[in-house]
């Protein structure tokens, strides 16, 4: 309240192909590290499931949100063209590259486009590619490569749940960015969740992450139809 948060939400039941919650889901927001999903897909499109040093880099980029790995792959794979190619391939209507080609975290995506990426990962990729990507997202440690506590939003709002997440945090255009996105599994269903937000950069990051986690937890009832969170 009083801090002008801009919030977008999209939750889709992937088994029923049904939208459970949508709030301004078609409005683009800065992705911060969520764009790393597109970087990983671009690499796999070119050469299949990576091995050796590339595999380690992608795993670190997705699980620990390693910015150095992301920057290297961003440059290697074409920078903003990654976003354009993946948006075209996946039909992402509200996704665009950053105005500054070097600032991959300022890529714009809507919550429903992020959910579309998760739908593609779970149902549009061969088994080996899907398993490689989801295993990395499932192993996200509490502290990211830069030391940030990335277990806000989904991981903390659904304690004990099975999740696979790609979080995003940082600043873009003078606003604080906090995004929690991923897959949440119940006993019988899998949901794709994207809760994306920007805040006035004067807002304390701890207060913002706490508020975003509370907002994400308030969505728990929307997943209840899929059975117990476990």
Which two three-digit tokens encode residue 196? Answer: 């994306």
Percent of the chain with pLDDT over 90: 86
Q: What is the mean pLDDT of residues 134-139?
A: 97
Coil, helix or strand for 91?
Answer: coil
Which two three-digit tokens encode residue 229? Answer: 């969170």
Work out the mean pLDDT of the chain and round it to a whole number.
93
Q: What is the mean pLDDT of residues 145-153?
A: 97
d(CA 132, CA 121): 10
Of 86-90, 144-148, 222-226, the range with the lowest mean pLDDT is: 222-226
Mind listing the pLDDT tens digit for each residue in 159-174?
878 999 999 999 998 8
DSSP state of 223: G
Q: What's the pLDDT at 230? A: 44
DSSP state of 78: T
Which segments within the chain are labelled E, that is strand? 6-13, 18-23, 29-30, 108-109, 162-172, 175-185, 190-200
Q: What's the pLDDT at 186? A: 85
pTM: 0.95
**For residue 69, what are the CA distances in angstroms to 8, 40, 45, 72, 120?**
28, 11, 18, 5, 23
Q: Does the structure show a pLDDT above 60 at 135? A: yes
Q: What's the pLDDT at 86? A: 98
User: Are residues 11 and 219 in contact, defined by beta-carbon separation less than 8 angstroms?
Assistant: yes
Q: What is the mean pLDDT of residues 190-200?
A: 96
Instruction: Pick one of 3.40.220.10, 3.30.479.30, 3.50.50.60, 3.40.710.10 as the CATH number of 6-226.
Output: 3.40.710.10
């Amino acid at each position: 309240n009083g801090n002008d948060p801009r919030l977008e939400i999209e939750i889709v039941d992937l088994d029923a192909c049904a939208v459970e919650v949508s709030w301004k889901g078609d409005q683009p927001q800065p992705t911060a590290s969520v764009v790393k999903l597109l970087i990983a897909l671009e690499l796999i499109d070119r050469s299949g499931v990576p091995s050796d040093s590339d595999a380690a880099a992608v795993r670190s980029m997705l699980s620990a949100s390693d910015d150095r790995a992301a920057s290297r792959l961003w440059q290697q794979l074409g920078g903003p063209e990654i976003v354009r190619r993946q948006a075209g391939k996946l039909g992402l209507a509200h996704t665009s590259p950053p105005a500054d080609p070097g600032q991959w975290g300022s890529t714009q995506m809507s919550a429903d486009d992020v959910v579309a990426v998760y739908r593609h990962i779970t149902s549009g990729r061969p088994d080996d590619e899907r398993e490689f990507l989801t295993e990395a997202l499932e192993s996200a440690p509490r502290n990211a490569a830069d030391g940030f506590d990335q277990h806000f939003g989904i991981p903390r709002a659904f304690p004990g749940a099975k999740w696979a997440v790609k979080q995003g945090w940082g600043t873009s255009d003078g606003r604080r960015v906090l995004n929690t996105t991923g897959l949440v599994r119940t006993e019988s269903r899998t949901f794709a969740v994207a809760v994306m937000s920007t805040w006035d950069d004067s807002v304390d990051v701890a207060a913002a992450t706490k508020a975003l986690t509370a907002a994400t937890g308030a969505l728990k009832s929307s997943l209840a139809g899929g059975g117990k969170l476990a």
